[in-house]
Amino acid sequence: MKNKKIKKWALMLSGLVTLLMAVGVLALCTGSAGIELKTIPGILLNGKGTADYSILIGIRLPRIILGMSIGGALSLAGTLLQGMFRNPLVEPYTLGISGGASLGVCINILFRFYSVIGIIAYPLSGFSGASLVIFLVYSLNRGPQHIRSNRMLLTGVMISYVASSLVMLLMAISKTDDLQNIVLWIMGSLDEPNTVLIRIAFFGSLAGLIISYFFCFDLNALMLGEEEAANLGFNTTRTKKILFITASFLTGLSVAVAGIIMFVGLIVPHFMRMVTGPDHRILLASSFLAGAIFLTLCDIIARVIISPLELPVGVITGIIGGVMFIWALSRKQVTL
C-alpha cells in the first residue's frame, strides 16, 4: 500500500513537472514578436546578438522564471495557512498579510527608500509590512495556552481593510509619478526587468518550499486539531510561529516584486487538495508546481488577449480564479 502511494505521488509530480515545462516552452514562444517553436533551439545556440535572442533571453525567459516563482510562492503560502487553520477560505489576503505587504511597498515608493538602499528596498519593505501584520494578528489573538484561530481570521480581515484604506490614503497624497507607479503595481504584473529581484523571488520561493517540508508532519497533525496535535507530541505554538513567518516571507516577497495577484493562494491549494488528498507530504510540492503553472498560463493569456497590448496578470487571475472557485463551490467539492 505504501509503495502504491509513493508511485502515485511520483506520477503526479512527474506530470506536474512535465506540464510546467510545456507551459514554459509555450510562454517562451508566445508574444507580439512571432518566434516559432522550431526556431528557438537555433536562436539559443547560434543566434547570440540577434533581436530574437535578446527577446528570448532578456525578456521572456526572466518573465517565465518570475511567473513560476511568484505563482509557486503564493500557492505555497495559501497551502500553509489553510493547513494551519483547517479552513479552505484562508489565504494571504484574508489574513491581511498581502495588505501589510502592499502598504510597505507603497510607503517605499512614496518615500523613495529604493533610491537610498537600492532595489532590495522592494522585497524588504514587502516583507516588513507582511511581518508587521503577522505580529499584530498573532499578538492580538494569543490566549494563555493557545492561539484563537477564528478570532485571528477576523482580525486579519479587518487589518486587511485598514491596510487597503491606508494605501488609498497614500495614493491620494502622492505625486503623479508615484501615483502611476502605485496603480500599475497594484494591478499586478510580471513585467519586471531587474534580474536581482527575479533571482530573489526564485531562490526565496525555493527556500520557502524547503522550510515548509520540515513541518509537513506537523501540518498533517494540525488537521486533527491543535489539542490532538499537542497530544501527539508536536509543538504547535512553535510550528505556527515558523509557518506564519514563512507564509509572510513568501507573500511579502511576491507582493513586493509582482504586485497584488489575487486568487493564486486560494484556488490552487483547493484544487490540488482535491487531486492529491490532504497529506502535506505531496500537497506542498504539488501546490507549488500547480501555482507556477497557473500563473504562467494566466500571464500568457494576459499577453495575447489584446496583443500587442498587455493586460495586468492580476486581472486575469482574478477573473479565472473567481470563476473556478464559484464552479468548485457549486459542485460541493471544496474540502480540506
Q: Please enumerate in sequence order all residues whose Cβ is within 8 A of that of 168, keeping only pairs 6 or more positions apart, or say none.
A: none
Q: What is the pLDDT of residue 1?
A: 58
SS3 of 256, please? helix
Tally Cβ neighbours within 10 Å of residue 207.
15
Q: Mind listing the pLDDT tens digit for each residue in 79-97?
A: 999 888 888 778 887 778 8
Q: The pTM is what?
A: 0.88
Q: Set out the domains of the chain in order of their start, with CATH numbers.
A: 2-318 (1.10.3470.10)
Tally Cβ neighbours within 10 Å of residue 39.
13
Q: What is the pLDDT of residue 285?
A: 95
Tally Cβ neighbours within 10 Å of residue 15.
12
Angstrom distance (rounded) from CA 62 to CA 202: 10
Convert 170-191 to b/e letters by CB count within 10 Å (16 or more is b): beeebeeebbebbeebbbbbbb
Residue 161 bridge partners (DSSP): none
Convert 261-279 to b/e letters by CB count within 10 Å (16 or more is b): bbbbbbbbbbbbbeebbbb
Tally Cβ neighbours within 10 Å of residue 211.
17
Q: What is the pLDDT of residue 14?
A: 95
Angstrom distance (rounded) from CA 245 to CA 239: 10
Q: Mind listing the pLDDT tens digit for each residue in 153-212?
A: 788 888 888 888 888 888 888 877 777 777 777 778 888 778 888 998 999 999 999 999
Angstrom distance (rounded) from CA 64 to CA 46: 22
Task: Report whether 155 contacts 97 (CB < 8 A).
Answer: no
- In order of 266, 302, 319, the CA distances from 315 in angstroms are 15, 8, 6
Burial environment of residue 84 by CB neighbours within 10 A (0 to 12, 13 to 18, 19 or more): buried
Q: Which residue ranges in the chain fall short of pLDDT 70?
A: 1, 142-150, 331-336
Q: If you ran DSSP here, which 8-state letter would residue 147 be given?
A: B
Q: What is the pLDDT of residue 146?
A: 54
Angstrom distance (rounded) from CA 135 to CA 111: 24
